[in-house]
């Protein structure tokens, strides 16, 4: 198996996005996860319109101007994947999504790797049983990078786990962790990307939206 090719993974969905009235239908993209997709910046400030679900919505509409698109956030600040998996059927699948994104890596440091893997597998398999494409997101960075604490090691481990699951299930991967790494390796400042100890700025969210945007190539 291998990680899904971002150019071709969503081909049936892109075909739907290209349709014009009266042959089109409403497309539901669901972003599931924790505080980052919810739009928390410096807690308790929630900046919805600078968060990546909204940026993704704008990107999709720019590339598919005739599409009727909803981007629905089912994320909850402070939640980890075990809790997100428990409410997945009721809160995510009930929207009849055409695509689901999953983003829990930051908070999953509170769980063991085994608990994390079980929860992510549950959500991935729930989507695949219904033929719904899914994109997994590796975590954005936080300030544990500076001191390379145990929290940083846990973040790296969860990024590796998410990549492995994307490969095993042949689903999409938006590698936010790698995007942050590439930014810092260009001698840019991580402070550009963090609005809070563990929440991205608008620029950080733009990196995530760019990763997701690879799955929506303009036609």
Q: How confident is the model at residue 43 (pLDDT cuts 50, 70, 90)?
A: very high
Asked whether residue 5 is assigned to any structural domain, the reply reads: no
pTM above 0.85, yes or no: yes
Domain of residue 131: give its range. 11-213
Q: How does pLDDT run across 178-192, given as a tens digit for each residue?
A: 999 999 999 989 999
Residue with tokens 């930014």: 183
**Total count of residues recorded for the chain:** 219
Based on the structure, what is the number of domains in the chain?
1
Query: The tokens of 180 are what?
Result: 């942050």
Asked whether residue 45 is assigned to any structural domain, the reply reads: yes
**Residue 102: in which H helix or E strand, if any?**
strand 99-103
Asked whether residue 68 is assigned to any structural domain, the reply reads: yes
Pick from 162, 57, 56, 156: nearest CA to 103: 162
Contact of 101 with 32, CB cutoff 8 Å: yes
Asked whether residue 2 is assigned to any structural domain, the reply reads: no
C-beta atoms surrounding 182 within 10 Å: 12
Q: How confident is the model at residue 138 (pLDDT cuts 50, 70, 90)?
A: very high
> Does the N-terminal peptide bond of residue 105 adopt cis geometry, omega within 30 degrees of 0?
no
Mean pLDDT value across residues 49-68: 98
Residue 1, pLDDT above cutoff 90:
no
Domain containing residue 71: CATH number:
3.40.50.1110
Residue 219, pLDDT above cutoff 90:
no
Query: The tokens of 198 are what?
Result: 């563990």
Q: How far apart are CA 208 and CA 177, in angstroms?
A: 9
Asked whether residue 83 is assigned to any structural domain, the reply reads: yes
Mean pLDDT value across residues 24-50: 97
């Amino acid at each position: 198996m291998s990680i899904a090719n971002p150019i071709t993974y969503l081909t049936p969905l892109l075909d739907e996005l290209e349709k014009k009235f009266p042959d089109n239908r409403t497309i539901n993209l669901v972003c599931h996860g924790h505080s980052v997709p919810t739009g928390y910046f410096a807690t308790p400030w929630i900046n919805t319109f600078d968060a990546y679900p909204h940026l993704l919505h704008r990107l999709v509409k720019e590339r598919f101007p005739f599409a009727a698109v909803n981007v629905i956030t089912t994320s909850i600040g402070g939640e980890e994947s075990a809790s997100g998996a428990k409410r997945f059927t009721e809160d995510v699948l009930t929207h009849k999504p055409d695509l689901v994104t999953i983003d829990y890596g930051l908070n999953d440091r509170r769980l063991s790797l085994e608990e994390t893997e079980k929860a992510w597998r549950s959500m991935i398999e729930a989507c695949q049983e219904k033929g719904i494409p899914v994109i997994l997101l590796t975590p954005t960075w936080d300030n544990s990078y500076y001191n390379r604490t145990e929290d940083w090691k846990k973040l790296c481990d969860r990024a590796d786990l998410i990549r492995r699951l994307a490969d095993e299930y042949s689903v999409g991967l938006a590698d936010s962790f790698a995007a942050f790494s590439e930014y810092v390796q260009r001698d840019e400042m991580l402070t550009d990307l963090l609005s809070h100890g563990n929440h991205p700025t608008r620029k950080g969210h733009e990196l995530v939206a760019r990763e997701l945007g690879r799955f929506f190539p303009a036609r």
